[in-house]
Structure 1
Amino acid sequence: MTFLRQTVGGLPRVFWMLFSVMLVNRLGAFGLLLLPTYLTSARGATLAVAGLVTGVYGAGGAVGTLLGGVLADRWGRKPTYLAGLSTASVLMLAMGLARPLWLIAVLAGGIGLAHSLPGPATVAAIVDVLPEADRSRAFNLQFWAFNMGGAIAASVAGLIAEASFTALFFIDGAMTAATALAVWRLIPETLRRPAAAPAVGGSDRGFRSSDAVGAHVSTADSDHLPQRAGLGTVLRDRVFLTFVGLTFVLALLTVQGQSILQLAMEGDGLRPAAYGAVVSLGGAMIVVGQLFVPRLIRGRRHATVLAGAFALLAVGYSAVALAGPLWTYLAAASVWTIGQMLAAPPNASIIAELAPARLRGRYQGVFFLVFPAAGFVAPTVGGWSLQQLGSWHWVGCGLLGMLAAAGHLVAARTRERRTDHIRVIESAAASGAPEPAVA
């Protein structure tokens, strides 16, 4: 009982609504899970073309992520969420009917955009309703729900694909529409519009207290933030962008298991159901073990945990170079899954700490950009790399993971100073006390 209270106790009703909606959506999110296999086996595409078309999905997601971050701050969290789900459901049905490769590529880009719109809004909503002390375990639960739904979806996807890829897309579209209905009926808007604050004297006339928080985000480039701070402010924040770059490596490695891995398994004569088993194993491990991760990493520096997580990812993906039978793929997947489990809570906590409240949606949008960007780069380059380099492709993935592990240790101190300063500024702004000088 103590474990349950520490893991799930005290979280608000809005969070559990978001949790439930995400779980339902992920249970049906299998339409594009087997897109590379669909393109090669049903549409006759080469490995390189399959990687390129899959990459278009990631490119659309990159646009959708940035747009989602801006809209989450302007429209609100709920309208942005609804726009993404509604659009994705329609386009997924169209994908089930499409036959020319060029049309499949166009639809993949549109679906990528629509799928990525809700991401920044969802995380921003969680941060909106939770105090900092509860965010790590909330993000851990979010990661658990995401992967539990994904594990079930992957196992179902392999079986449905054996019978009909068209059914795969149609069922996904229907589940996405059902999720949109649930969001419309159950999820309240969490964005609080700030009241106008009185202007202060001097050359900073017209600035609000929250502007000082945003001004700090680019200590090397700017001493002041315009009254209408926007995406440019985020893109000038060097400490934040360093963290985003390291997360991009995490996303690149993760996408290997979602796209290029199935091509390697197909080359070893394994069927789509075998790939579904590998994905399901990772999801099952997360379902069983993820709730214990916060206790395991409690009291440890975020950077230390992330460095260890990246080392495990590196070992797991390098091991694919030696894989052949299904059990060897399952063994490699178990190693990189532990790395993903360890990385999820500190990664989400760091982005919440680095994002000033008034620009929360935009920060989340830029942060989430790494996942669709990786969704474009990893299959586009990875399909060519696997075709040209064979098993050495996976060795390169391992080296990249080890470099990123070292990068987290090097960047840790600067990142921790930034989060401490933002915490002090926002605390002063909330209490009405004079704000500390921007460093």
Structure 2
Amino acid sequence: MSIANLRRAAAESVSGLPRAFWWLWTSTLVNRLGGFVATFMALYLTIERGYSASYAGLVAALHGLGGVVSSVGAGVMTDRLGRRPTLLIAQTSTGASVALLGFMTHPLAIAAVAFLVGMASNASRPAVQAMMADIVAPEDRVRAFALNYWAINLGFALSSTGAGFIAEHSYLLGFLIEAAMTLVCAVVVFVKLPESRPVRGPVANSAESSAEREPDVGLGTVLRDRRFMAVVALSFLVALIFQQGFVALPVAMGADGFSSSDFGLAIAVNGLLIVALQIPVTRLIEHRDPMRLLVVSALLTGYGFGLTAFAGSLTVYVLTVCVWTLAEIVNSPTQMGLVVRLSPTHGRGRYQGIYTLSWSVAALAAPLTGGLVIDAYGAAWLWAGCAVTGTVAALGYWLLMRGLPGAAPPFAERPVSAAPAGPRTDSAA
């Protein structure tokens, strides 16, 4: 491909998106560029503070538990308070708690503040995703979600590189830099992003308002939405597999005699491929049948990890990472588009919060399931289980998507009511 073609492809990938999206994208990138703490937390606790590996694992679990707790609460806040206030609260709280964590020395204090950091840092996700759905046209949402995911991985790749150099000089400096950059994100949100929460307009005839207005959306509404909860369950299965790349894969490679640097090289391929391929692959898939994309990505995820059972060299390990990374590139924007499609306009925050919960719970469950299976049966059985789980998820997506109305645009949001909307009510929990 010529330079001119590359420039044209890049221009088409980023054109047509609103200015507010790019400020939100910038905030995401800055936030991930400052993501040092998660990268070196285990090293900080074991090397700098001298705690055991089991204590470091406990702190990581508490950090993840904080994310589980905040997923639902932040979704409710996103709908009740608005996207912008939720982002401001989440980002300022994250900055303050991360800075505080750097000064904690007592093990109970470290564990408690790590839980708070997990809560605060995860609270922004439903608001970001809901705001993106608000401000981007339905036909551009897959591309927008892909660009945001690309920013997340680009920022993570760069911050992971910088974290090592910073940690050599001062772990505390890393905490303070992350806190400062998170506060910069809050400033961007405050200065550049207007509130995007859809407002229900008044109804001309008040006698008709109760019958014609869009129904209130509470958490019970989300939990009773069987189709959406099926998406959450399938998302959990896929996330459970993906998490094994950071939980079970290093254990399995270590048992095969590979060094930590070998694992670092293999897993670095994941980030590099996402940065290199996310945008061009999204251009190829954004107008294709989402059912096929989700089915294929689930199969690639399961069997990409399943192939790890046959890996006897670093080259084969890298090849398996390439397979499930391609699945990740396809799955992430496609599934986010499906979540928006199934979410009523005035309940996006709650729906996004429950969807985020599936990944948070998977991050907690993956270390437990992976470790138990490896200890009891061996790594080969875990990889076989990943292949089976991916197959189940693919079948689930096929059954779920087959029931969606075929006439609807691939990623248009679900209409809740064709009648005029009624006055705003925030009584739903």
Please tell me the TM-score bracket, short chain as reference.
0.7 to 0.9
1:252 is matched with 240
Letter in 1 for 2:197: L
Displacement of 1:427 after TM fit? 8.2
Quick check: 1:413 aligned with 2:417?
no
Change (3 A) 1:259 1:185: farther
74, 77, 99: which one aligns with 1:71: 77
**Alignment partners' CA distance in 2, 1:22 and 1:349:** 18
Displacement of 1:5 after TM fit? 4.3
Normalising by structure 1, we get a TM-score of 0.83
1:215 is matched with none
1:45 is matched with 52
1:214 is matched with none
2:213 is matched with 209
Change (3 A) 1:388 1:22: same
Letter in 2 for 1:315: Y
Letter in 1 for 2:52: A
Alignment of 1:70-109 (within 5 A): 70-109=76-115
Quick check: 1:375 aligned with 2:344?
no
Instruction: Report SS of the residue matched to 1:10.
Output: coil
**Alignment partners' CA distance in 2, 1:326 and 1:40:** 28
- Contact kept? 1:55, 1:378, Cα under 8 Å: no
Change (3 A) 1:102 1:79: same
- Contact kept? 1:151, 1:281, Cα under 8 Å: no
Instruction: Report SS of the residue matched to 1:394.
Output: helix
- Contact kept? 2:78, 2:86, Cα under 8 Å: yes
- Contact kept? 2:269, 2:322, Cα under 8 Å: yes
Quick check: 1:144 aligned with 2:150?
yes
What's the RMSD between the two structures over aligned residues?
A: 3.1
Change (3 A) 1:429 1:206: closer
Letter in 2 for 1:373: V
Displacement of 1:397 after TM fit? 2.6
1:117 is matched with 123
2:202 is matched with 196
**Alignment partners' CA distance in 1, 2:268 and 2:409:** 39
Alignment of 1:211-230 (within 5 A): 211=215, 228-230=216-218
Instruction: Report SS of the residue matched to 1:127.
Output: helix
Quick check: 1:396 aligned with 2:385?
yes
Letter in 2 for 1:206: S
345, 348, 365: which one aligns with 1:357: 345
**Alignment partners' CA distance in 2, 1:174 and 1:424:** 39
Letter in 2 for 1:406: L
1:155 is matched with 161
Letter in 1 for 2:202: A
- Identify which range, 150-159 or 360-369, moves more after superposition: 150-159
Displacement of 1:387 after TM fit? 4.4
- Contact kept? 2:133, 2:340, Cα under 8 Å: yes
**Alignment partners' CA distance in 2, 1:19 and 1:73:** 21
Per-residue CA shift, 1:255-292, capped at 9, x if unaligned? 22344444555664633x65554443222211211111
- Identify which range, 129-138 or 314-323, moves more after superposition: 314-323
Structure 1: 5+ residue stretches without partners: 212-227, 433-439
**Alignment partners' CA distance in 1, 2:290 and 2:336:** 10
Displacement of 1:39 after TM fit? 5.0
Instruction: Report SS of the residue matched to 1:206.
Output: helix
1:242 is matched with 230
Alignment of 1:270-285 (within 5 A): 270-271=259-260, 275-285=263-273
33, 52, 58: which one aligns with 2:39: 33
- Identify which range, 414-423 or 24-33, moves more after superposition: 414-423
2:12 is matched with 6
**Alignment partners' CA distance in 2, 1:183 and 1:175:** 13
2:3 is matched with none
Per-residue CA shift, 1:305-326, capped at 9, x if unaligned? 1111122222332344455765
Alignment of 1:253-268 (within 5 A): 253-264=241-252, 268=257
2:134 is matched with 128
Change (3 A) 1:88 1:288: same
Change (3 A) 1:33 1:197: farther
**Percent identity among equivalent residues?**
34
Letter in 2 for 1:331: L
- Identify which range, 60-69 or 101-110, moves more after superposition: 101-110
Change (3 A) 1:430 1:199: closer
- Contact kept? 1:255, 1:374, Cα under 8 Å: yes
Structure 2: 5+ residue stretches without partners: 1-6, 423-429
Quick check: 1:303 aligned with 2:291?
yes
Displacement of 1:231 after TM fit? 1.2
Normalising by structure 2, we get a TM-score of 0.85
Change (3 A) 1:388 1:159: farther
Aligned length: 412
Letter in 1 for 2:240: L
Displacement of 1:15 after TM fit? 0.4
